[in-house]
Amino acid sequence: MDLGIRGKTALVTASSGGMGRNIAHALAAEGVNLALFARSADKLQAIAQEIEAQHGVRALAIRGSMLSRSDVDNLVRRLQTEFSGVDIAVLNTGRPPNPIRATVEETEEERWTEAYQSQLWGTIQVVSQLTPQMMTRGWGRIIAVTSASVKAPMPHHSLSTVFRAGVTAYMKHLANEVGTKGITVNCVAPALIETPHRAGSAAYTPEQAAARKKLTPLGRMGTQQELTGVVTFLASMQAGFITGATVPVDGGMVSSLF
């Protein structure tokens, strides 16, 4: 299927590895030019070169933090200068503070502040600066990567759930405001997805891996390709009538009707 986005430009945040890197590759495979944004300049540049070599698109590495206003301002300037703006924005973020704890044990203000900034504020800061560009262009796709925990809170995930639920609410409000400008705004809520830091024996014992697989009716973990495929579809022309939605990619783990 031709997704109709060849030649478009996408920004992927937190794209120096893991899920962000894989999303960038999936979009590049559809002929999308990439702006990669993360704090690790060396890793980012290596991935940009990797994408250009494998997919024949342009990939620009822009070092910066989603939490820094000056870095985000520089990002927006570079997007305008290098690509005349951006068409697709995928908002991926880092993880909340470790180790994860029970909610009643989350009493440290520093951990709540860090989680708020990394999970919610960084996303808002980037989106609020990019949206006017998209409105001028009259077309856009904004996709935030959240978590299935926003639909069914998981144990020991309150630092993530609280602020990713905030992202979900922000994106719903934004979808209601920019739809007439040709922009769709959606969230993807993954769970039980195999990621590089989970692969191999260092991540889970056999017993832990078996227990996680039982959380989904499919009886297995999801693949990165299954997640990136959903993100890529939401960026497509065919997804133009989907907005304000949260799409779970959790193998049926969340058992609610809605």
Residue 123's Cβ-count burial label (10 Å; 0-12, 13-18, 19+) is buried
Output 102 or 125, whichever has higher pLDDT: 125
Q: What is the pLDDT of residues 17-75, one digit of tens each?
A: 999 999 999 999 999 999 999 999 999 999 999 999 999 999 999 999 999 999 999 99
pLDDT at res. 255 = 83
Total count of domains within the chain = 1
Domain membership flag for residue 96:
yes
Task: Examine the pLDDT at 202 and tell me if it is beyond 70.
Answer: no
Task: Examine the pLDDT at 220 and tell me if it is beyond 90.
Answer: yes
pLDDT at res. 3 = 97
Task: Examine the pLDDT at 250 and tell me if it is beyond 50.
Answer: yes
* pLDDT, average across residues 224-242: 98
Task: Examine the pLDDT at 239 and tell me if it is beyond 60.
Answer: yes
Domain membership flag for residue 207:
no
The answer to whether the CB of 11 falls within 8 A of the CB of 86 is yes
Domain membership flag for residue 1:
no
- 17: which DSSP letter? S
Domain membership flag for residue 171:
yes
pLDDT at res. 204 = 57
Phi-psi region of 247 (alpha: psi -120 to 50; beta: other; left: phi over 0): beta
Task: Examine the pLDDT at 198 and tell me if it is beyond 60.
Answer: no
pLDDT at res. 75 = 98
pLDDT at res. 205 = 65
pLDDT at res. 100 = 82
Domain membership flag for residue 256:
no
Domain membership flag for residue 23:
yes
pLDDT at res. 102 = 87
Domain membership flag for residue 200:
no
The answer to whether the CB of 181 falls within 8 A of the CB of 138 is yes
The residue segments making up the domain with residue 73 are 9-195+223-249
pLDDT at res. 69 = 96
DSSP 158-179: HHHHHHHHHHHHHHHHHHHHHG
Q: How many CA atoms lie within 13 A of 198 on its CB side?
A: 15
Domain membership flag for residue 204:
no
CATH of the domain at 95: 3.40.50.720
pLDDT at res. 1 = 84
pLDDT band at 196 (very low <50, low <70, confident <90, very high): low
Output 95 or 84, whichever has higher pLDDT: 84
Q: What is the pLDDT of residues 95-110, one digit of tens each?
A: 888 888 888 989 899 9
State how far the alpha carbon of 213 is from the alpha carbons of 58, 76, 161, 216, in Å: 38, 41, 21, 6
Q: CA 159, 164, 167, 172: dihedral to nearest 10 degrees?
A: -140
